[in-house]
């Protein structure tokens, strides 16, 4: 199934992936539950369910409270293709990311490698149209990539631990 949400391939800034030793159904189910975010996202302390939905879905928004105690961001899933992908935008934050990269999008892809192994990928998209944004991206790009890989590693740990029990 092709995406309804249009992404500019020139805006792809980083890609991270990890192989999780669990069936795609278990990986998918774990990622659908928004209340799991603080368990796997190293920077998130708490999640408010803005849309009053615990599960991801198109147009479902949620506020992440970061563990620094002061910053928050609102994320919104704009497309969910079951067992394949989730497209998430960042419409608002207190850290300035949306001021710098106003078109920030994360595509999370899920691929079944076999009945007990799943590849999960994050693709971070945003534009850097001005010189200032390109310069800021020299630092931000690597930090975002590192944090994304850390998040994937924590998801892997959590899902594999649940799958082995």
For the chain, what are the domain ranges?
A: 13-164
For the beta sheet containing 105-114, the strands, ordered from the edge strand earlier in sequence to the opposite edge, are 12-20, 117-125, 105-114, 85-93, 72-81, 60-66, 44-48
Residues forming beta bridges with residue 77, ordered by sequence position: 60, 88
- For position 102, what pLDDT does the model report? 79
CATH classification code of 13-164:
3.30.530.20
Q: Residues 9-26: what's their mean pLDDT?
A: 96
Q: Residues 1-23: what's their mean pLDDT?
A: 86
The answer on pLDDT for 2 being more than 60 is no
Q: Residues 126-147: what's their mean pLDDT?
A: 92
Q: Looking at 62-71, 94-103, 123-132, 139-148, which range is the least confident one?
A: 94-103
């Amino acid at each position: 199934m092709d995406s309804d949400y249009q992404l500019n391939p020139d805006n792809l800034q980083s890609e991270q992936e990890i192989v999780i030793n669990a069936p795609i159904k278990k990986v998918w189910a774990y990622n659908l539950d928004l209340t799991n975010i603080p368990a796997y996202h190293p920077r998130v302390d708490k999640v408010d369910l803005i849309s009053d939905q615990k599960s991801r879905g198109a147009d479902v928004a949620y506020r992440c409270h970061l563990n620094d105690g002061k910053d928050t961001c609102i994320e919104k899933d704009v497309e969910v293709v079951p067992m394949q992908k989730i497209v998430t935008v960042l419409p608002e934050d207190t850290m300035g990311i949306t001021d710098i990269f106003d078109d920030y999008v994360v595509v999370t892809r899920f691929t079944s490698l076999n009945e007990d192994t799943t590849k999960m990928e994050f693709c971070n998209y945003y534009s850097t149209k001005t010189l200032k944004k390109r310069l800021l991206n020299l630092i931000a790009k690597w930090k975002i990539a590192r944090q994304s890989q850390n998040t994937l590693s924590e998801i892997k740990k959590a899902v594999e631990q649940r799958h082995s029990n």
